[in-house]
Structure 1
Amino acid sequence: MSAERVGDDHFEDGGEDGPQDDEFIDPNDVLVEVVDDGDHPMEEDEDGLEGGPHPEDEIVWEDNSVQHFPNHKGSVFAVSTHPTAPLAASGGEDDLGYIWDLLTGDELVKLTGHTDSVTSTAFSSDGELIATGGMDGKVRIWRRVGKDDWKTWEFLTELTGPDEVMWIRWHPKGAVLLAGSNDTTVWLWQLPSGNTMQVFAGHTGPVTCGDFTPDGKRIVTADAEGTLAFWDPRSPAPLFKLTPVDQRFALDGITSLAVNPASTIAVVGGASGGVRVVSLSKGEVVGALAGHQDGESVEVVEFVDLATGPAAQAAAAAGGVVVTGGTDGKACIWDLGTMRLRATLEHGDAVTSLHHLPAPGKGHLIVSASTDKVLRTWDARTGTLVREHKGHSGPVLAAALGLAGGVVVSAGDEGVCLVFQTE
């Protein structure tokens, strides 16, 4: 499809989120009943220690999850949630994706057809479509069947073009899908037809991250060689590019980015621990944030809402508040109005995911996930810990909020997805 076929309705203001399911799971639900069949003598290992060796990564000391999904046969790399229904979609090392029920943990649909690891899953903004992206270069699309049934889905189409899919993002309003590839290209498709709307070819390395701006009018992408590109979806040429030739933008490769809700500022994280603030209207670097350890990459960036009313408007005009998470185990909270560090949140290992609660009045609460096997809910206004979420026996590789932010769903390297109440 030519660039002119991109309808204006897809690149106007994004729609509001629909009503959210407010059902929760009783945290006291019993997942497994263990039968007491009497005491047994403990065996001694060759060193004379009772019980033998207990590798630390095989022990789960505490599990406060309210549901689990153990169906993957390998690491789970991706998880996402439906915008209104109690559904999660996960993808893993077993070349499979699943749609499953957050409330019961039941498998609803097996998403097949990939020939390599499924590294991305995403529901469209209206919840009618689900996309999976894989290391095999395929993007596969399923759609919901029936108006009142969110448990039945059918395969729609397969999109091809990328060499290896690094990430996928749906447009905030329309049925338009964006994907970044390790072959330096970025692809844009129209659904349900599956027609290619645009191929952006302006990068020099794997396209590690990207997204639509929240207003849906522009696209921001970045690559492992350190180039940031800003696009009009209707044009194959970027509106502007920033490269490491400008020493102010030398990040040893870009690993993460996010755009503020006003669609005016991008915050970019680098492989060497640097963070840059970019004005999307000016096309230039307007700030540098130094809080992460040198040589430790910034893996995730997330904007948060710490205020309401006039205070929120003033904060947004100044750029807002952003959180950056790195492999140094830190999540740094920054005030972009002053370019100063507000607080530092500490994990025991790399931070892999950050999300702020979407419910009104809850935007100051953020959930972080880490390879230290734990997720945590924090109050970003003060940097205080609200709740710890434990149950994984391996690193947490991804997470997503569901049920209007009432739960967080996590993807574990040990092959299990868990559901926790956020507060």
Structure 2
Amino acid sequence: MTDAAQRHVLGGRYRLGGRLGAGPGGNAWRAHDEWLRVDVAVKRVLPPPARDGDGTDAAEARARAARRAGAAARLRGHPHVVTLLDVVVDGGGTAWAVTHLVEGRSLADHLDAHGPLSAPRAADVARALLTALAAAYAADLGDLGVKAANVLLAADGGILLTDLCASGRAPDPVLARLGVPGGTPGHVAPERLTAANGDGAADGAAADLFALGVTLYQAVEGRLPFDPADPYATASGELPPPVRAGRLAPLLTALLARDPARRPAAREALALVPAQTPYDTPPPAPEPVPAAAPTPGPGPAVRYAAATTRLPGPFTLNATSEIHDLAFSPDGTFLVGVGDEKPVRMWDLTSGQGICTELIGQAKWGRAVAFSPDGTILATGGYERAVRLWDPATGRSTATLDGHTDWVRSLVFSPDGRTLASAGDDKAVRLWDTVTGAATATLPGHPGWVQSIAFGPDGRTLLAAGGKQVRVWDLATAARTGAPLRPGRKVRAVAFSPDGTLLAVGGRKFGLTVLDAVSYAPLPAWSGTGGRSDALAFSPDGTLIASRGPSRTITLWDVRTAKAVTSMTGDPMSPIHAMAFSPDGTVLAVANGSRVRMWRVPPAQYTDAAPA
């Protein structure tokens, strides 16, 4: 953004700040409301695309924008629609929509970073968007531009549809040549293509619902159902049968019906959204667990949740939303998880039932968690754009470390516990003194979001995986050491072996590979496992590596031979975000959707076994 733009004030009130993103409906910016002293979002509203011979001019475009904004304003307060606060026109005659600033990410960005949603989470998105569409149609507002980029997943758990007041949408060049005035490739309803060829008219609501079907299919299956490179794919292509959607499949099939008359209306479609079942939610405890007496000190009190039934064989710990990171306490008595809910969950593994304590105080979703080596500090991070420290003994928040400008995705303590490293979407690693809470260094300049960081066993080296690189930092000088490692694809996870001699690197395309930690040369036995491996962990004795593989499979590998020891399969409809070995190496905890699956690790004498 230019200095002139940063100084620009809209309507004598809204001072433009950083850019939030660009879409086909206009450009969005963060702005500060100098009257109310709050941050808002502003978006340049583009005029509707002109049609040959219809006489559309700038005045008519502004009138259409005003009518559309008026309809959008009637949706203020709807829980699943981004609130329109104001519309202003600048000196050049450009209209700007001012909306509530939603802290979060678009569904498109979430899918790119984390892969498809679980079927229950996709059902939540479906329920929210159908409710929003029904309200929009009641306000006489259509042509809503439904797609993953216009769905916001708020950091507080909300699901919102945005960009409703765009008076028109910039046409895709290919679609424009076909006579389709607006739309997104791969999302345009078949009847809009035939209407462009003079065969009937298109119903805006039915077309919106078709685009919603495309968006939900992409959310749960991880890919678009129709080839966006083929402008006629939605009219002539066959719908690939959903494989991950589970009980959501009938809704997808109904919304993506080629004949618009066969698509349900928004309120009718709500009846097809599967309700939560006991499979999606934790089973109730036979008796409630009493709350402990409050412990003096700062921060909110601990809240105790219901006990979780231990299942035969491998057992399961339950949460209410997807878990994104896990950490065992150094003594193995507790397992902590953070994810798509505000409380931090701490399960007591000595109880035999996995009694869960909820640590209250985190304001937004969590993405990273770590214990200090002595177990006296628990660190969490996520959408708060800060690192929060906790006392595990009392469950109270003790400090907040500010400095990150975007989400925190990875946390790790140095081996001596004196330094905490944090990293995330601001493409920087920050180092903190764990005694004083002071920032001691910033390691900037990574080419992408920093997904994973790891200290070397001597505490003098730190690895940071961002984009398609792994950068090596000398912490004594806060300088990079040598050229970055370039596996060739996006790197999602890095880890040192316990003795520091090996380095494991996992990514979306190249799978899992193991390198010599000094030369960074791949070990002869490890040429890459292939597939997606964005979560991995070394066993405490360094003989095994656990990694996520295709189809929600977790594989244990013999480090020496690179042979699979055994494989375990979780819920195929739920993503796997993290895994951790217990300190004694006997249990592997895997975050599988809203469940943590606890698997017994085979004894050491079986680590040379060939795959079954």
TM range (shorter): 0.5 to 0.7
Question: How far 1:186 sits from its partner (Å)?
Answer: 0.5
Name the counterpart of 1:301: 494
> 1:346 and 2:547 equivalent?
no
> 1:137 and 2:324 equivalent?
no
Question: How far 1:214 sits from its partner (Å)?
Answer: 2.1
Separation (CA, whole Å) in 1 of partners of 2:442 and 2:244 = 44
Q: Any idea what SS the aligned residue of 2:404 has?
A: coil
Q: 1:135 to 1:404 in 2, by over 3 A?
A: same
> In the alignment, is the contact (CA less than 8 A) between 1:124 and 1:175 conserved in 2?
no
Opposite residue 313 of structure 2, the aligned amino acid is T
> In the alignment, is the contact (CA less than 8 A) between 2:328 and 2:582 conserved in 1?
no
Separation (CA, whole Å) in 1 of partners of 2:357 and 2:599 = 29
Whose strand proportion is higher, 1 or 2? 1
Q: Any idea what SS the aligned residue of 1:341 has?
A: coil
Q: 1:337 to 1:186 in 2, by over 3 A?
A: same
Name the counterpart of 1:285: 480
Separation (CA, whole Å) in 2 of partners of 1:300 and 1:99 = 30
> In the alignment, is the contact (CA less than 8 A) between 1:138 and 1:158 conserved in 2?
yes
Separation (CA, whole Å) in 2 of partners of 1:413 and 1:161 = 20
Opposite residue 252 of structure 1, the aligned amino acid is G
Structure 1, unmatched stretches of 5+, are: 1-52, 60-69, 76-95, 245-249, 306-311
Structure 2, unmatched stretches of 5+, are: 1-239, 247-276, 283-304, 608-612
Separation (CA, whole Å) in 1 of partners of 2:401 and 2:381 = 9
Separation (CA, whole Å) in 2 of partners of 1:259 and 1:419 = 27
Percent identity, aligned pairs only, is 22
Separation (CA, whole Å) in 1 of partners of 2:551 and 2:494 = 19
> In the alignment, is the contact (CA less than 8 A) between 1:137 and 1:161 conserved in 2?
yes
Separation (CA, whole Å) in 1 of partners of 2:242 and 2:318 = 33
Separation (CA, whole Å) in 1 of partners of 2:537 and 2:440 = 29
Q: 1:263 to 1:254 in 2, by over 3 A?
A: same
Match of 2:565 among 377, 380, 387: 387
Name the counterpart of 1:323: 504
Name the counterpart of 1:268: 464
Question: How far 1:157 sits from its partner (Å)?
Answer: 5.8
Q: Any idea what SS the aligned residue of 1:192 has?
A: coil
TM-score (normalised: structure 1) = 0.62
Separation (CA, whole Å) in 2 of partners of 1:253 and 1:390 = 30
Answer with 1 or 2: which has the greater Rg.
2
Question: How far 1:350 sits from its partner (Å)?
Answer: 1.5
Question: How far 1:333 sits from its partner (Å)?
Answer: 1.9
Separation (CA, whole Å) in 2 of partners of 1:141 and 1:413 = 17
Match of 2:384 among 161, 167, 183: 183
Name the counterpart of 2:400: 199
Separation (CA, whole Å) in 1 of partners of 2:586 and 2:346 = 27
Q: Any idea what SS the aligned residue of 1:346 has?
A: coil
> In the alignment, is the contact (CA less than 8 A) between 1:350 and 1:372 conserved in 2?
no
Name the counterpart of 2:202: none
> In the alignment, is the contact (CA less than 8 A) between 2:407 and 2:425 conserved in 1?
yes
Question: How far 1:58 sits from its partner (Å)?
Answer: 9.9
Summarize the alignment of residues 85-164 of structure 1 with structure 2, pairs less than 5 Å apart.
101=310, 104-105=313-314, 116-141=321-346, 150-151=351-352, 158-164=359-365
Opposite residue 355 of structure 1, the aligned amino acid is A
Q: Any idea what SS the aligned residue of 1:269 has?
A: strand
Separation (CA, whole Å) in 1 of partners of 2:595 and 2:334 = 25
Separation (CA, whole Å) in 2 of partners of 1:252 and 1:97 = 40
Separation (CA, whole Å) in 2 of partners of 1:124 and 1:377 = 22
Q: Any idea what SS the aligned residue of 2:431 has?
A: strand
Name the counterpart of 1:66: none
Q: What does the per-residue CA deviation read over 1:241-277, in whole Å, with 9 as the maximum and x for residues that have no partner?
A: 0111xxxxx322211111122222111111x210011
Separation (CA, whole Å) in 2 of partners of 1:101 and 1:211 = 30
Name the counterpart of 1:73: 280
Name the counterpart of 2:599: 419
Alignment RMSD, CA only?
Answer: 3.7
Whose helix proportion is higher, 1 or 2? 2
Of 339-348 and 222-231, deviating more is 339-348
Summarize the alignment of residues 163-182 of structure 1 with structure 2, pairs less than 5 Å apart.
163-182=364-383
Q: Which has the higher contact order (CA 8 A, sep 6+)?
A: 1
Q: Any idea what SS the aligned residue of 1:340 has?
A: coil
Q: 1:356 to 1:110 in 2, by over 3 A?
A: closer
Question: How far 1:357 sits from its partner (Å)?
Answer: 2.3
Summarize the alignment of residues 37-48 of structure 1 with structure 2, pairs less than 5 Å apart.
none
Opposite residue 493 of structure 2, the aligned amino acid is V
Opposite residue 517 of structure 2, the aligned amino acid is L
Q: 1:385 to 1:157 in 2, by over 3 A?
A: closer
Q: What does the per-residue CA deviation read over 1:4-58, in whole Å, with 9 as the maximum and x for residues that have no partner?
A: xxxxxxxxxxxxxxxxxxxxxxxxxxxxxxxxxxxxxxxxxxxxxxxxx997769
Opposite residue 301 of structure 1, the aligned amino acid is V
Opposite residue 497 of structure 2, the aligned amino acid is V
Q: What does the per-residue CA deviation read over 1:215-266, in whole Å, with 9 as the maximum and x for residues that have no partner?
A: 211101112121111110133431110111xxxxx32221111112222211
